[in-house]
A and B are shown apart, each in its own frame.
Chain A
Amino acid sequence: MNKLFVWLVSLLNPVWRTLGADPKAIGLILAAKLKMDDRGGMLMGQRQDSKSGMAAMIYVFICLFGLLLSFVFQLTPDVATAVGIGFSLWFVYIGLLLVTEMSENLFDQRDLYILLSRPINDLTFSLSRMLHIAVFAGKLGLCLGVPSFLYLTVAVSPWAGFVYFLLSILTIVITMTGTLVFYLLLLRRVDSAKIKKIVGYFQIIATSVFFIAYQLPGLLGDSKSLENISLVGQPAGFLFPGLWVGGLYKAMTSLSVEPLAYAQAALALVAAAGGFWFYVRQSRGYADSLLQLRNAGSGGRETEAGKVTGGTEEKSPVRDFLAPLLTRPNQERMSFRFHWNVMVRDMTFKQKVYPILVYLPVMLIMVFFRDAFRGEEAFSGGMGFMLIVLYFLLWLLIIPLGQTKISENYRAGWIFLATANKYPWRTDYGQLMAVLGMFFLPMAVVLYTVMLVYLGSGFVLDIVLAMGATLLIALVYAAVAGGHPFSRSKEDAQFSNIGPFLLVSVLAVGCGFIHWAIRFLPHMLPVASVVVWGILLASVWSYRNKGD
């Protein structure tokens, strides 16, 4: 696969040469980068597991998502609009992945001295990075687009399928240049000491916005509103770049095209060409900017390496308040403080986990306020939906817990292998409590308060039972997940938590269903609450005192 992409890139060698880049260097850098992507990292002389099987699984999932996207053709007879809606979702999906997963490749400084000590110019360097990201986006696009491509080829015409293929490339170019130019601009314009923080927080905000955008259709209405919709060739077709591509599809496949569709088609072409041109322009000084970024250090504190700087001790009142409440001295507390410190400082962790904090507010809005938006007086979600929201809190524990196994700085995990930790579960317990304190408790307070206000005190026992079950399942996860803290590379960690995640999912669904069922039985809710809390407290006691 990698060779195919390198070959495809080499087809454009005359273009790279005309722009002033070195095509041979681009090909060599790209091939090396792709090779490295496929290989696991080392920790204390042991190679981490190969990820090829997991990567294949991810692509299968993306293909399934692409299959779902192809159903948009069933909603509306206007194929151009369907194509436009499909590509709009591409923008969201690929854009999200570029922002969260790949855009940091633009700032990668690990190979800086190796590459910059060779005679390659800024454009070659910057294009090789962009093409590396393009291969990633291309693989996603390939998986997303195959079902729609097949549908158009068979149901419409082979020409329509071919046009769809070309437009897929155009969509990737617009998405990529739109995202990456922003980063290049930051690199050129913003002080290198601040750039990582800005990028980090931008990624967190962007992920949150994308998530909300995903949820909006569910909030506003259902798929019926899309039936017979026609956007391409209409003023609404200017709203989103995906619809401009739909306009281009119409211009290339139909003889009767509205003038507005031509305008949208032109806009799509201008966006792609302009984006690429702007990217090339912004590539000037790329290497210098990266060098400055490297010298700026990796943390929030900008000091010259080795210099003693003034400053006061970093205080965290919440951490210091919760630590003695939730943990015992020494190993549990050490682990609590260690995890808390890393969780609030490690940008990779923040990027992966902080956006989940918007999940709950968005869900709350969906559940509690959707009816108000629609002008309905009664709550239409029902008790089942309410329980889903209650048990959703579990993911605010499990997702951060899973991420506390992963780090960019995973090689630092050697310390857990090299030290004589007789009680590793105490470290795990401190980890669980840190996640509980940072993510679960604040959200639980918000959720339970809203529920009690909205549904009244009759819902208290449901909250007690759901909370006990959630904590019990989280404890099970902590016990079975294994692995040392922050000791897997993020590249190798994809799907590594799948076993414990599946177990937790099954348990959560099971608990939710049983909870729903026992609500119909008299007196069972208090009995179940006592039983669950009894099991939880006994489990916590035995977990903490194991080996004493």
Chain B
Amino acid sequence: MSIISIRNLQKSYFSNQVLRGIDLEVQAGQIIGYIGPNGAGKSTTIRILAGLDSKFGGEVNVLGFDVKKNPLEVKKRIGYIPEAAEIYEVLTPEEFYELVGGLQDLPWAVTKKRAERLQEYLDLKYSKSQRIDTFSKGMKQKVLLISGLLHDPDLIFLDEPLAGLDANSVIRVKDLLQQLTKRGKTIFYSSHIMEVVEKISDRIILLNDGKIVANGTFAEINAQANSGSLENLFSQLTGGATARTDFDFTADE
């Protein structure tokens, strides 16, 4: 059974059509890399899948629930970490976990234990009374990541999860994502870091101009274009032509 099922998904912001009829089926236990140029509609798709936007055309089912009719059932079972999300920075991480765990109706003892384990795994260290507003960007990103996993969701949506993380943290997060899939979780994430997407994704979906232009394993997609790397493939399929060598923006002056 598909964990995500999308039929003819369309979304417009006024006259600007962002998604132009997406069809997609995702099976459980995979890491899905959702890539595309800026403005292709990645974040919009993820927001719709996470039950945060009900103004769209088409049919979207997540974990067997219609996201338009049952957004609460969907939210209960998914984790969502938006891109560059803000946090209540006057709180300490523990207080923030208390808030998020409470909203998911988790007992505090469970929230606390899970948060501590995840913090240890991600090497997030701070003093007990330290508020989030004193954290670096990478530390805040780790707090966000942890808060999205506290209720042990079956499906995790991550919008640019690696933004702001240093190289060591990227390795840890990558490992964590793989650990999660071993436990049967499904990861659906967007990223602009092609090397990482190529390396860790079981399946890659390339979105361009509101449509899916490639969908499969890296080997399957590469077989279509034979471009060698995901970066080249991305460039070919999204119309990012090779750089002109004679370009001079002050030429006519």
Give A contacts to B, CB under 8 Å: 44-46, 297-314, 329-331, 333-335, 337-338, 341-342, 345-346, 409, 411-412, 414-423, 427, 486
Contact = CB atoms under 8 A, between A and B. Distances in A.
A417 B80 CA distance: 11
Enumerate the 4 nearest inter-chain pairs by beta-carbon distance, A residue then B residue, closest first: A334-B102, A306-B136, A420-B75, A420-B76
* Of listed B75, B87, B99, B125, residue having the most chain A CB within 10 A: B99
Contacts of A311: 127-130
B44 interface: yes
Nearest to A47: B13
Contacts of A305: 134-136
Contact of A337 (B43, B98, B135): B98
10 contacts: A305-B134, A308-B130, A311-B129, A312-B129, A329-B108, A337-B95, A338-B95, A409-B90, A412-B88, A422-B76
Given A306-B139, A337-B95, A419-B104, A409 B52 contact: no
Contact of A415 (B103, B106, B108, B136): B103
A420 B106 CA distance: 11
Contacts of B243: none
Contacts of A419: 75, 100, 103-104
Given A44-B52, A414-B86, A486-B88, A313 B129 contact: yes
A418 B128 contact: no
Interface in B109-150: 125-131, 133-136, 138-139, 147
B116 to A, nearest CB: 15
A448 B127 CA distance: 43
Contacts of A345: 90-91, 131
B52 A417 contact: yes
Given A314-B129, A419-B100, A342 B134 contact: no
Given A333-B102, A342-B88, A345-B91, 14 more contacts: A297-B133, A299-B89, A300-B131, A301-B134, A305-B135, A311-B128, A330-B107, A409-B88, A412-B86, A414-B82, A420-B72, A420-B76, A421-B104, A422-B72
B223 interface: no
A213 to B, nearest CB: 31
B50 interface: yes
A418 B80 contact: yes
Nearest to B81: A418
A420 B73 CA distance: 7
B175 interface: no
Contacts of A338: 88, 91, 95, 98-99, 102
B208 to A, nearest CB: 20
A333 B133 CA distance: 24
B101 A334 contact: yes
Interface in B38-91: 43-44, 47, 50, 52-53, 72-77, 80, 82, 85-91
A409 B127 contact: no
Contact of B128 (A312, A346, A409, A423): A312
B92 interface: yes
A146 to B, nearest CB: 38
B231 interface: no
B195 interface: no
A409 B90 CA distance: 10
Contacts of A310: 127
B189 to A, nearest CB: 15
Contacts of A334: 98-99, 101-103, 108
A502 B192 CA distance: 50
Contacts of A44: 47, 52-53, 82
B133 A299 contact: yes
Contacts of A45: 43-44, 47, 52-53
B105 interface: yes
A314 B99 contact: no
B102 A330 contact: yes
Contacts of A412: 85-89
Nearest to B76: A420
A415 to B, nearest CB: 6
Contact of B133 (A46, A298, A331, A342): A298
Nearest to A307: B134
Contacts of A415: 87, 99-100, 103, 147
Given A342-B90, A486-B88, A299 B98 contact: no
